[in-house]
Structure 1
Amino acid sequence: MRASRSQFPLKEVALQNHVSSDDIRSAFSAAMSAMYRQEVPAYGTLMELVARVNGEALAADPELKERLDATDSLERISEERHGAIRLGTAAELAMMRRVFAVMGMYPVGYYDLSTAGVPVHSTAFRPVGEAALKRNPFRVFTSLLRLDLIKDETLRAEAEAVLAGRRIFTPGAVELTEKAERDGGLDKAEAGRFVSEVLETFRWHDKANVDAGMYKRLHDAHRLIADVVSFKGPHINHLTPRTLDIDRVQALMPEYGIAPKAVVEGPPTRKCPILLRQTSFKALEEPVSFAAGDGSWKPGSHTARFGEIEQRGIALTPKGRALYDERLEASRKIVRPAADGSNAREYEAALAKAFEGFPDDWAGIRRAGLGYFSYSLTEKGRAAGSLASGDLQALIADGLVRFDPIVYEDFLPVSAAGIFQSNLGDTAQQEFVASPNQKRFETDLGATVLNEFDHYAGIEAASIDQCLGALRSVAAE
């Protein structure tokens, strides 16, 4: 996968005393998790539940454990998490890109959520190399508010004025980002300060930037608009651990005092998971204060932060993704999930029925060209004395090469919108005119987003080349 230098602003050759971007990302991910656990205690409970379910899943499925071991994915499970933030201006988005680049995280994919009634468009900042993903796969789903979708021109202008007056990054975060860009990295002390300074951008602030009247007007336009505009910064609105069995987590959440959303977003339960499944607990109603005209503060409340869990499956090819989108749409033509969960069982039944035509075994998915796989030599292949064939299928049939699903590292717009809508508490979906605008988003970002399909295809192709190269070298000896 190729990318312009503007996407990767750090110098390619860093000084020996510089901390790697992988280490900075790992430190930031751990700091973010600790902060969110303190701010939202239910997140800690969620982590305990996920750890329990993952342990049970590995103990019950030796084949799953062996596959994760073989692909160096087992160790990353406990570190696997993603967060989400919502930004208000192009300047915030462009600076956020530069900050994440210091951590080795780059924009992958474009997501238009206006099609599902949420006035944002988004990208995911994440590591892109296979080695970096194995080191720490932390991702942040980052949305930019679409003020152009606010019909009330007066309210739109007021919101723009509020956003223009705020600064979400500390001077220290900006200074250290510029130093990393200039010098090609940060030393250990600087990296520690960088993590602390950037963490402030994601911290919760309980004092609003607006008065109660404007908050209500923003809230009436859309709850997410109120969440973005009304506060000092883009507080992290959720952190998401990865589970190996989301249905088990969903079933156990009430036992842990957590009320789950009614429907798991994404594909149905399958033997061979595809793409991404997500569930969450309802957003918290938290006390906040609104500015009053006399310099005092008026008490109120705001709902924004919640807990989420995800289960990741195989990354699908364009053909596989088209089939997924077709099957999802077919299910929603029968039953569209209600925001209050009243038709959850009917929707789940329709979803399962719609996906009966999607192969549910790894060999079938690979044979149909629906998913991406990583190829490696088996023990027999490593012991082979000669290259029996250069044909990959023959090598697999002969037991020399194995294939394992490549984990989907990205997101699904319909699922993201479903999580947003559920946790914003909307009882009815608010409608916006679907208006994808990737060109405008990339202009605001200051870079093009990377294509997720190119990324997965590159990993698959490299693994095939490595297998065939290893067998050829054996044959040449």
Structure 2
Amino acid sequence: MPAKTLLSTDDVRDRFSKAMSAMYQTEVPQYGTLLELVECVNQETLTQQPELHRRLEALGELARISVERHGAIRVGTADELFMLRRLFAVMGMYPVGYYDLSEAGVPVHSTAFRPIKDDALSKNPFRIFTSLLRLELIENEALRQRAEAILATRDIFTPKVRKLIECHESQGGLSSEETDQFVKEALETFRWHQEATVDLDTYHALHNEHRLIADVVCFRGPHINHLTPRTLDIDEVQRRMPGVGMNPKAVIEGSPWRECPILLRQTSFKALEESIRFAGDAQGTHAARFGEIEQRGMALTPKGRALYDQLLNEGRKQATGLDNDAHQTVMNSVFAAFPDSDEAMRREGLAYFHYHLTEIGQTAKGSADKEMEDLIAQELVEAQPITYEDFLPVSAAGIFQSNLGGKENEAYAGSANRGAFEDSLGVRITDELSLYAERESASKAKVLASLQG
């Protein structure tokens, strides 16, 4: 009997991400409109900025722009998070980064499941920002116990997807046919349900504590609450959203427009009010799903992150209550203190870079004993900024708040517990900064080894 041909985890992830995008377009038609808008702006931007086109092509990122998505879900129990970690491993996605959103008054902590290797990111950089509800932060003991009891009765995974996950783990992968079955069954975990599992009074009690708690606890599963395409000009997308029937959030999260984008900028259209049938046949509405857009810039070093965080906090304080135009004006002024050129950021150690040989460098030998700066000056080596693949707690919390009523609960603040989160996962979380540092170091070593040959 011939051996079973197994697909790579990259192929599984690619099939799943495309199927999820198709499902979400059916569930939220405005998401399809958003994709069309982003695609239009991206094509215009690439035409108008040939140097950007060249850079993305050189980094191998041009092809991935059109397939790039990240989604977000929220789960209620440690067991759910543990099983999700196994499910995402089937797709070559691993927990990277720990995010404590209690700092912003949101009772969750999170990680991002994503590919880690460069070739996997180039194939399909699909990510899922995954949050675990912090029921222990609910001070009302009766309400907390009520939520725990509700969550204990549900299973967000189909029996078939559980078996397929075990199959992947035992045989080291899935066949093409098994992958199609896995995608079909896994999608059920993320599908929207118009029927709540609780009565209207229970929903209101949880909603009044925090809208996100009601969203996690009151339904059969962690419906995907947004999928996020990557734009090359988020300011233009924000400007055009009202023209295609979307109500954008008040301000774009993150740094202002820059010649050299850094980290992550995000915006969204507001969450939809959707009809829900509650237990006992009562009718009501719930707002959870929205359309988010992101613009990715370069990954910053710890030194760069410290400066970014300082300036962002300062800018947010000054811009409180302003509309987007005024907000961006303030941010522009504040972020003037952050260098806005690749070379300045590289020399000051503010961002991570990938080093590679130029055409001249590919024919040069015996130059490895020179300093990297000398090699760059002689145009033997070029440094390209490494794209930031992760998330920002401030941006995530800003998106959460704008789509969950804009309210914070200060009682949740300062409750980080990475150890408990990792215990729930069943594995340690990879530090995102270490991944960028390793990539930069490896690229330098490869360049020097090539020049020695």
TM-score range, shorter chain: over 0.9
Match of 1:63 in 2: 51
Residues 365 and 452, structure 2, Cα contact 8 Å, conserved in 1:
no
Mapped to 2, the partners of 1:253 and 1:331 lie a distance apart of 25
In structure 2, the CA distance between the partners of 1:39 and 1:142, relative to structure 1 (3 Å rule), is: same
Which amino acid in structure 2 is aligned with residue 459 of structure 1? R
Pair 1:374 & 2:328 matched? no
Mapped to 2, the partners of 1:207 and 1:354 lie a distance apart of 47
With the length of structure 1 as denominator, give the TM-score of the two structures: 0.93
Match of 2:315 in 1: 331
Which amino acid in structure 1 is aligned with residue 118 of structure 2? E
Match of 1:3 in 2: none
Following TM superposition, by how much is the alpha carbon of 1:16 offset from its aligned partner in structure 2, in angstroms?
6.5
Aligned match for 1:28, one of 16, 20, 40: 16
Residues 123 and 141, structure 1, Cα contact 8 Å, conserved in 2:
yes
SS in 1 for 2:197: coil
Mapped to 1, the partners of 2:424 and 2:368 lie a distance apart of 53
Match of 1:12 in 2: none
Pair 1:146 & 2:150 matched? no
Q: What pairs with 1:14-413 in structure 2 (closer than 5 Å)?
A: 17-292=5-280, 297-336=281-320, 338=321, 343-387=323-367, 389-413=369-393
SS in 2 for 1:287: strand
Following TM superposition, by how much is the alpha carbon of 1:383 offset from its aligned partner in structure 2, in angstroms?
2.5
Mapped to 2, the partners of 1:392 and 1:58 lie a distance apart of 31
Residues 268 and 292, structure 2, Cα contact 8 Å, conserved in 1:
yes
**Deviation per residue, 1:307-347 (Å, 9 max, x gap):** 000000000001111111111112233233x4xxx554443
Which amino acid in structure 1 is aligned with residue 146 of structure 2? E
Following TM superposition, by how much is the alpha carbon of 1:233 offset from its aligned partner in structure 2, in angstroms?
0.1
Mapped to 2, the partners of 1:94 and 1:60 lie a distance apart of 46
Residues 264 and 392, structure 2, Cα contact 8 Å, conserved in 1:
yes
Aligned match for 1:423, one of 379, 403, 407: 403
Greater shift in the superposed pair: 180-189 or 133-142: 180-189
Q: Structure 1: where are the runs of 5+ without partners?
A: 1-14
Which amino acid in structure 2 is aligned with residue 204 of structure 1? W
Residues 390 and 468, structure 1, Cα contact 8 Å, conserved in 2:
no
Residues 252 and 324, structure 2, Cα contact 8 Å, conserved in 1:
no
SS in 2 for 1:308: strand
Match of 1:7 in 2: none
Mapped to 2, the partners of 1:457 and 1:369 lie a distance apart of 11
CA-based RMSD of the aligned residues comes to: 1.2
Mapped to 1, the partners of 2:417 and 2:37 lie a distance apart of 39
SS in 1 for 2:334: helix
SS in 1 for 2:88: helix
Following TM superposition, by how much is the alpha carbon of 1:111 offset from its aligned partner in structure 2, in angstroms?
0.2
Residues 92 and 168, structure 1, Cα contact 8 Å, conserved in 2:
yes
Following TM superposition, by how much is the alpha carbon of 1:56 offset from its aligned partner in structure 2, in angstroms?
0.6
Q: Percent identity?
A: 59
Pair 1:442 & 2:442 matched? no
SS in 2 for 1:210: strand
Following TM superposition, by how much is the alpha carbon of 1:472 offset from its aligned partner in structure 2, in angstroms?
1.2
Match of 1:462 in 2: 442
Q: Structure 2: where are the runs of 5+ without partners?
A: none
SS in 1 for 2:433: helix
Following TM superposition, by how much is the alpha carbon of 1:389 offset from its aligned partner in structure 2, in angstroms?
4.1
SS in 2 for 1:209: strand
Which amino acid in structure 1 is aligned with residue 23 of structure 2? M
SS in 1 for 2:147: helix
Pair 1:451 & 2:451 matched? no
Match of 1:6 in 2: none
**Deviation per residue, 1:237-257 (Å, 9 max, x gap):** 000000000001111111111
Residues 389 and 395, structure 1, Cα contact 8 Å, conserved in 2:
no
Greater shift in the superposed pair: 408-417 or 351-360: 351-360
SS in 2 for 1:167: coil
Mapped to 2, the partners of 1:92 and 1:147 lie a distance apart of 14
Which amino acid in structure 2 is aligned with residue 90 of structure 1? A
Residues 274 and 287, structure 2, Cα contact 8 Å, conserved in 1:
yes
